[in-house]
Every structure is written in C-alpha cells, then in structure tokens.
Amino acid sequence: MDGRAGHPGRVLVLSASVGEGHVAAARAVAARMRRLWPDAQVREVEDTGRGHERRDRLLRTAYELTMRITPGLYGVGYDMLVRHPRFADLCKRVTAALLGRALAPLLAAERPDLVVSTYPMISGGLAWLRRRGRLPARAVALVTDVAVHPYWVWPDLDETWTLLPSSRDQARAQAPLADVRVAPAPVAPRFRPGDRQNARNALGLRPDAMVVLVTGGSLGFGGLDRLTAAVLAAGDEVQAVVLCGRNARLRTRLLARRLPGFRLVVRGWTDRVAEHITAADVVLTTAGGMIATESLAVGRPVLFAAPVPGHGRAGAEMTAAAGLALVCPEPPDVTTAVRRFLDDPRELARLSRRAAEFGGRDLDAELAELGARARVRP
C-alpha cells in the first residue's frame, strides 16, 4: 500500500491475556481499525512472542494467585516500581530485553507499518527493538489504566496514549522525553451511551430501582460478597447486580443467600457487560482498569470500593480527583455513598455528566489521525 492511502497497510495490535483488560482493549482497537481501513491488514496477537506459552501462563497464574490470595503483595511491588526509579529501571531493562528478543521473529515476519501495544511489558520489548534499529514501524503504547506506572512509559516509542490529563502528566514525569497524549478510551463501539430503561427491560431488571452494578473484573476479586451486602444495606430502593466473572465460588456464595431477584441479581461470565453498564445508575468495582474505563465510556460514574492495592488504588484516586468517581475505602462507605445518591440525586447527576463528557470523545477520529501519522511502506 502506498502513502497516498492515508493509512498503514500492515498493522499489528499486541496484547497478553494477563487479566482481560489488555486483551479487551486490543480487540476493540483492532476491530475499529478494520472498519476504518478495510483494505489494510490488521492482525491481533495475544501473546508475548516466541516461547510465549510457558511465559504467559506463568504471568497469568502469578497475577491471578496474587490478586486472589495476597493482593497486598502486588501493592508492595507496584509501590516499589513507583517510588524507586532505579529499581524500576533495572526491572524494565531486564524484561524489555527478554520481550524484545521474543517479539523479534514476529516483527521480522510481519514487517508492519504500525504496531500498537496494550500490555506494558510488550511495549518494553518494542522499545528494546527500536533502540537496536529493528523496529522501523510507528509504535504506540495504549495505557489501559488511569494510573501510569513506570512499565507503561517507554520514550523510545513514537507515542503513548493515556486516559486523562493527570495520566499524561504522570507519564511525562516518569519519562520527560516520551511523546504522551490524552486519547479516548480504547473500548469497543458497544460501550457508548444508551437507553437505560431499554437495557433494563432486556435484562429483566427493575425499572424503578437504583441499580448498582457490582464487578471485580474478569476474576471477580476484591471481597465482592461483603461489598454487595453493603450496597443492599442502603435500602429496598436498591437492586444490586453482581458480575462474578470466572469466580464460581463467589457466584455460589451469593446465590446461597437466596435473596429475591428484585434485590439481588447474580451473573456468571457474560458477554453482555455493555448492556449491564447501560442499565445501571452507577458501577461499583474493586478492580479499576478496563471495567472502570468502559463504564465511563457508557456515561456511568464509578464507585471504587475497597480498591485493590497497586494500580487499582492509584487509578481510583486519580479518577475521583477528575470528578468521575468516588472512592469508598471500606464497605460502610459504600452504603453511605449509595444512600447519598438516593437522598440527593443531584450528586449522582453531577458525576454522570462528567462521565458522559469522558465517554463522548471520538476514538475513531483519533485512530484516523494515527493512521495518517503512521509510516507507510512504498
């Protein structure tokens, strides 16, 4: 494809299945690119390169076990990266070299014009290749969290996309030479403002209740049983809808309560997350990351309840500072917040307006401009 086409001819979108958020962002961006550039070759790869089977399984297992059993340990690691730049630089050099060597065969075979990464360690591998002259393509890192830890930012890449002005400032403080931009959230087109009542009718939810969607991401972590009880304690006007993800034990525990459906709805894994968000008045999450971003893209404010240590807590605080969410450190704070929304709907309306402004940004337009910037092979 020649440069007159105005977009790249060959695109790689890279992610890793360590949690669903990175993969969801990659799939959303790849799908939008295919629609925008129907004659381009857009390939999505969900692994970390050569020898990925064992490496990705180890990363995924370590992450899941840590978040389920000892989330505080994850928070300690996150804090060390953020507070100790020399330690972070050492870790980044080691993993960037590992991932760079692993990704090299894929990049050499595909010879893309544009590479987009939604996973921070993969972004580091791309940066390692760029420093060695082995990545001629335009390379972009998409940050899927509001909080930007050091692994997200690599000045060797052409662009780093962040979600909020405060996210951009945080990234620039870590890497002053990086080209950091504020961009719309990398979500699928179905995550957009929609009709609340139609969504409730389709899902069988109460039309007159305050619906609180409760989720801990794909793993359903973060003590959701206690937080669900805190939501319900706000009163009979509230209906809690819990997305348990792959956490079958959580689903079993909640169903064992045998509460009526007009008060508690329990879902397992579902591909109707966007509908559930549209049906809700507010989304409560412990995880942050993509579920919070998707909620804001739909125009629904977020309650961060007992956010998980590390990026969860950091992202919650930054999102709240931007006027898009509230942070509830403990379950009683959840009850207080939901009760306040019931007693003073103006508070919820204010947060909803800010969320709608966040969700109103045009990702397709931003991708079209990126396409014009991307290097196109003659």
> Is the model's pLDDT at 343 over the cut of 60?
yes
The arithmetic mean of pLDDT across residues 29-58, rounded, is 88
> Is the model's pLDDT at 91 over the cut of 80?
yes
Calculate the average pLDDT of the chain: 89
Tokens read off for 235: 């009163």
The arithmetic mean of pLDDT across residues 95-116, rounded, is 95
Q: Where are the domains of the chain?
A: 3-184+362-373, 196-359
Same fold for the domain at 3-184+362-373 and the one at 196-359?
yes
Between 88 and 61, the higher pLDDT residue = 88
pLDDT digits over 115-124, tens only? 999 999 999 9
> Is the model's pLDDT at 353 over the cut of 50?
yes
Asked if 105 and 249 touch (Cβ cutoff 8 Å), the reply is no
Give the Cα separation of 302 and 142 in Å (integer). 22
pLDDT band at 75 (very low <50, low <70, confident <90, very high): low
CATH class as words, domain 3-184+362-373: alpha beta
What pTM value is reported for the model?
0.87
The arithmetic mean of pLDDT across residues 148-160, rounded, is 94
The full DSSP string for 280-298 is -SEEEESS-HHHHHHHHHH
> Is the model's pLDDT at 260 over the cut of 80?
yes
* Predicted local distance difference test score (pLDDT) of residue 68: 64
Find which of 14-28, 55-69, 168-182 is predicted with most confidence, using mean pLDDT. Answer: 168-182
Give the 3-state secondary structure of residue 265: strand
Give the Cα separation of 295 and 316 in Å (integer). 13
CATH class as words, domain 196-359: alpha beta
Give the Cα separation of 356 and 10 in Å (integer). 34
